[in-house]
């Protein structure tokens, strides 16, 4: 009986003959400790949740594939990168994508004003490549050491448990590099209509490396074939009143009816040097690379065509990280990228467990099977490698086991020199210019929404924060500052009269002498 497929069993394989009542002494009597079936069921239930992601807890996932064009713009992709996933045309590389909001908990509304996470795991023949990005293509800060403070300020108050505008603007008003991102996120672009009609980008600067060991700086972009659609605050509120998971529903239903969303994968490229001629630092993730100077070059396309069968096993346990690159794609010195690369796998060893890479959703594809000498630990499920001699779980060995891969003919070597220290400033200091340009480039309704949102938020902030924010926005664009001040009832002249923020370069100042301590 117990072998029949539909028969309920315990995890030990014992048939469950009564799932309605626990064992007790007599009809009303006490339960007993040897009640194994009950204890197994309840204690497993007690452990059903794993910690949610510390950020990006609310998300939804889908499977699909990536196909390279084999070209980067008009040139063969091999000119820039030896990554096979970008060179081999017509090969379908399996992908898993997880979209998310950032600040809210696991079941929070998907109408939140927030950047949207856009995390892609490409299971290439050369091992996994994760591109963990967002829809706004830039970020609030450019040094990873600020991230915990930023997230604390944006998350609910530890006393009232409420997300307060004054916490957000308190942090932001002391962090002018955030102004560009704030301008995007407080505009309708901060509430994408859904996940399908949304752009994506790697945000941080990476490198592409070819087989001659030559590197270029690169930014990665996902451009939706569905177009881009964003919501006003009023439209979002209306949706939220009836549904807190509208974006998950939209993606799931589109895939179920065969309306598969598609994105074109594009890159922006520049030579691998400091670029003193630019008015921004190419390693500063709070800035965009202007598309008229650095056009988006198509390199492939991604289609999402399969929903997860089990949200927990796939979406919840999926683990993306910026350290997960393939040969032909490399790190730049972008300090956010360097900091993030520690954070992701570290949190995943805690959140999912040290063997999270053995789970099917995270393990590389068969052609790039993991062959390691890593052993044991919680939830070790199998031995990664069988190289003919199971006794040899170390390297080097004269008796068998795993051996190092061959080195490529030419490797990329980065030359590095400088004083070791804590640099408070980026080479490029104008944190106001791109925010102002963005303000002026928005359509009129987007600008109206932006100033209404920021003005409405600032009404709820203490006066020093109000004045400093208006001072910043006025330096981005006088009209931006004036309109926000008007909506929030802030005295523009008092705001303008503030001295520059202490320790920060004045607006418009392109360069500061590098300052470093330690």
* Cα gap 90→65, rounded to integer Å: 11
Instruction: Give the shortest CB-347-to-ligand HEM separation in angstroms.
Output: 4
C-alpha closest to that of 115 among 225, 230, 220: 230
* Cα gap 212→82, rounded to integer Å: 9
Alpha helices in 279-432 (DSSP H): 335-351
Instruction: Give the shortest CB-247-to-ligand HEM separation in angstroms.
Output: 13
Whichever of 122 and 492 has its CB closer to ligand HEM, that residue is 122
Whichever of 71 and 196 has its CB closer to ligand HEM, that residue is 196
C-alpha closest to that of 382 among 352, 360, 349: 360
Structure tokens of 93? 């590389």
266 membership: H or E segment, kind and range? strand 262-271
Half-sphere exposure of 437 (CA within 13 A, CB side): 10
Measured from each CB, the residue nearest to ligand HEM is 117
C-alpha closest to that of 171 among 420, 481, 424, 461: 461
Whichever of 147 and 331 has its CB closer to ligand HEM, that residue is 147
Residues with catalytic roles: 56, 134
On the 0-12 / 13-18 / 19+ scale of CB atoms within 10 A, 359 is middle
Instruction: Give the shortest CB-335-to-ligand HEM separation in angstroms.
Output: 8
Instruction: Give the shortest CB-441-to-ligand HEM separation in angstroms.
Output: 22
Instruction: Give the shortest CB-148-to-ligand HEM separation in angstroms.
Output: 7
User: What's CA 13's distance to the chain center, in Å?
Assistant: 40
User: What's CA 134's distance to the chain center, in Å?
Assistant: 6
Instruction: Give the shortest CB-369-to-ligand HEM separation in angstroms.
Output: 23
- List, in sequence order, every beta strand (DSSP E) within 55-101: 59-68, 71-72, 75-76, 92-100
Q: Phi then psi for 75, rounded to 5 degrees? A: -115, 155
Q: Is 344 annotated as a binding residue?
A: yes
Give the position of tokens 């117990």. Answer: 2
Q: Are strands 127-134 and 117-124 parallel, antiparallel or unpaired?
A: antiparallel
127 membership: H or E segment, kind and range? strand 127-134
Q: Contact positions toward ligand HEM, by CB under 6 A?
A: 53-56, 59, 98, 100, 117, 119, 132-134, 139, 144, 147, 203, 318-320, 336, 339-340, 343-344, 347-348, 351
Instruction: Tell me the sheet residues that pair with 71.
Output: 76
Whichever of 142 and 475 has its CB closer to ligand HEM, that residue is 142
67 membership: H or E segment, kind and range? strand 59-68
8 Å CB contact between 476 and 435: yes
Whichever of 203 and 208 has its CB closer to ligand HEM, that residue is 203
C-alpha closest to that of 202 among 364, 68, 330: 330
Instruction: Give the shortest CB-496-to-ligand HEM separation in angstroms.
Output: 32
Whichever of 64 and 117 has its CB closer to ligand HEM, that residue is 117
Instruction: Tell me the sheet residues that pair with 218.
Output: 206, 269
Whichever of 204 and 210 has its CB closer to ligand HEM, that residue is 204
Which residue ranges are tagged as binding site?
A: 344
Which residue ranges are tagged as binding site for heme?
A: 344
């Amino acid at each position: 009986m117990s072998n029949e497929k539909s028969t309920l069993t315990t995890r030990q394989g014992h048939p469950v003959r009564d799932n309605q009542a626990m064992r007790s002494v007599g009809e009303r009597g006490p339960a007993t400790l040897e009640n194994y079936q009950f204890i197994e069921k309840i204690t497993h239930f007690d452990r059903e949740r794993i910690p949610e992601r510390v950020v990006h807890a609310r998300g939804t996932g889908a499977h699909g594939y990536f196909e390279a064009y084999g070209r980067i713009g008009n040139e063969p992709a091999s000119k820039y990168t030896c990554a096979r996933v970008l060179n081999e045309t017509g090969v379908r590389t399996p992908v898993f994508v997880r979209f998310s909001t950032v600040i809210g908990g696991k079941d929070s509304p998907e109408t939140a004003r927030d950047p949207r996470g856009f995390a892609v795991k490409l299971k290439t023949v050369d091992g996994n490549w994760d591109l963990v990005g967002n829809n706004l293509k830039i970020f609030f800060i450019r040094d990873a050491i600020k991230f915990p403070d930023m997230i604390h300020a944006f998350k609910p108050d530890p006393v009232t448990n409420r997300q307060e505008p004054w916490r957000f603007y308190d942090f932001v008003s002391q962090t002018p590099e955030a102004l560009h991102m704030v301008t995007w996120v407080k505009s309708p672009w901060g509430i994408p209509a859904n996940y399908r009609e949304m752009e994506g980008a790697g945000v941080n600067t990476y490198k592409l490396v070819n087989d001659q060991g030559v590197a270029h700086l690169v930014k990665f972009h996902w451009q939706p074939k569905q177009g881009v659609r964003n919501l006003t605050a009023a439209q979002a509120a209306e949706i939220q009143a009836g549904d807190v998971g509208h974006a998950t529903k939209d993606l799931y239903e589109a895939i179920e009816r065969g309306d598969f969303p598609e994105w074109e994968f594009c890159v922006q490229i520049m030579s691998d040097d400091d670029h003193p001629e630019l008015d921004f630092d190419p390693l500063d993730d709070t800035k965009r690379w202007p598309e008229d100077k650095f056009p988006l070059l198509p390199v492939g396309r991604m289609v999402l065509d399969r929903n997860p069968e089990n949200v927990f096993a796939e979406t919840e346990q999926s683990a993306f990280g910026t350290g997960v690159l393939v040969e032909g794609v490399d790190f730049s010195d972008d300090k956010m990228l360097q900091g993030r690369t520690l954070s992701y796998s570290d949190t995943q060893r805690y959140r999912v467990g040290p063997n999270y890479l053995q789970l099917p959703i995270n393990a590389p594809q068969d052609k790039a099977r993991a062959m390691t000498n890593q052993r044991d630990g919680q939830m070790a499920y199998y031995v990664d490698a069988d190289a003919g001699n199971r006794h040899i779980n170390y390297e080097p060995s004269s008796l068998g086991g795993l051996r190092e891969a061959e080195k490529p003919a030419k490797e990329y070597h980065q030359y590095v020199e400088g004083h070791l220290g804590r640099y408070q400033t980026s080479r490029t200091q104008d944190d106001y210019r791109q925010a102002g340009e963005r303000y002026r480039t928005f359509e009129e309704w987007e600008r109206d929404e932006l100033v209404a949102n920021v003005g409405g938020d600032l009404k709820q902030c203490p006066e020093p924060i109000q004045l400093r924010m208006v001072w910043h926005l006025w330096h981005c664009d006088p009209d931006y500052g004036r309109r926000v001040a008007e909506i929030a009832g802030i005295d523009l002249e008092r705001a303008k009269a503030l001295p520059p923020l202490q320790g920060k370069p004045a607006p418009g100042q392109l360069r500061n002498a590098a300052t470093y301590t330690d």
